[in-house]
């Protein structure tokens, strides 16, 4: 009798346990990465295209994996000459066409519906070099739709990229990133 009760509970609770593992598939056309670089003469704002992304996560064990890929050469700042210099001299898009973030773990509660704020740790790869990074992420889930937003700083000069300063035009050594991912949740 005892084994029957255990078996019955396992059959009843199995769908609940399995439903905790889900996948967030990014819609590239609805998502974007904005950057802001402060300089002595202006604030340079740009937008990059999210190429693809899929993140698997488990609310029970804080397990997360996957990758978000951004097309490095897609950046537009409103100045074609500056964009060409950024692609050629700083991002070296002829050698490495993408920038990526691969999450490895998260902390904080992730609710099934509504708003959550978590800290996501992972590997940010820029110019082919991996860097450990923790990003605060605001998530909104409603049915099968989800958004993930983050605001963080990349120390691009410390990470080996060239500072675009010249003559009296000086740029800061860090760039601010605003990430806006839109997509679908599936089980």
- The alpha carbon of 128 is separated from its chain's Cα centroid by a whole number of angstroms, namely 16
pTM: 0.85
Tell me the CB-side half-sphere exposure of residue 79, using CA atoms within 13 A: 9
**Cα 157 to Cα 59: distance, rounded to the nearest angstrom:** 36
Model pLDDT for residues 27-47, shown as the tens digit of each residue: 999 999 999 999 999 999 999
Give the gyration radius of the chain's Cα atoms: 20
The domain segmentation of the chain, as residue ranges, is 21-186
Report pLDDT for 1: 52
The residue that leads in pLDDT, 20 or 49, is 49
DSSP 8-state secondary structure symbol assigned to residue 73 = G
The residue that leads in pLDDT, 177 or 60, is 177
Model pLDDT for residues 50-75, shown as the tens digit of each residue: 999 999 999 887 789 999 999 999 99
Give the three-state DSSP class for 11.
Answer: helix
The residue that leads in pLDDT, 89 or 18, is 89
Report pLDDT for 16: 41
φ, ψ dihedrals at 143, nearest 5°: 65, -125
Task: Report whether CATH 2.40.128.110 matches the domain 21-186.
Answer: yes
Sign of CA dihedral 157, 161, 166, 172: negative
- Total Cβ atoms within 10 A of residue 135: 19
Return all residues near 89 (Cβ < 8 A) that are at least 6 apart: 162, 164
- Averaged pLDDT of the chain: 89
Average pLDDT estimate for 149-174: 94
- Given a contact cutoff of 8 angstroms between Cβ atoms, the answer to whether 110 and 139 are in contact is yes
Instruction: Place 17 in a pLDDT band, splitting at 50, 70 and 90.
Output: very low
């Amino acid at each position: 009798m005892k084994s029957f009760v255990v078996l019955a509970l396992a059959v009843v609770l199995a769908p609940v346990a399995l439903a905790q593992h889900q996948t967030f598939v990014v819609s590239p056309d609805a998502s974007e990465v904005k950057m802001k670089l402060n300089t002595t003469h202006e604030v340079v704002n740009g937008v990059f295209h999210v190429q693809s992304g899929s993140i698997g996560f488990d609310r029970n064990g804080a397990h997360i994996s996957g990758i978000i890929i951004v097309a490095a050469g897609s950046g537009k700042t409103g100045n074609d000459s500056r964009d060409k210099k950024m692609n050629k001299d700083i991002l070296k898009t002829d050698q490495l066409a993408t920038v990526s973030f691969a999450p490895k773990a998260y902390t904080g509660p992730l609710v099934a519906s509504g708003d959550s704020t978590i800290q996501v740790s992972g590997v940010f790869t820029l110019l082919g070099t991996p860097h450990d990074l923790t990003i605060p992420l605001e998530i909104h889930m409603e049915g099968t739709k989800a958004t993930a937003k983050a605001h963080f700083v990349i120390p691009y000069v410390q990470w080996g990229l060239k500072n675009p300063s010249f003559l009296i035009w000086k740029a800061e050594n860090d760039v601010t990133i605003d990430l806006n991912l839109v997509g679908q949740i599936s089980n």
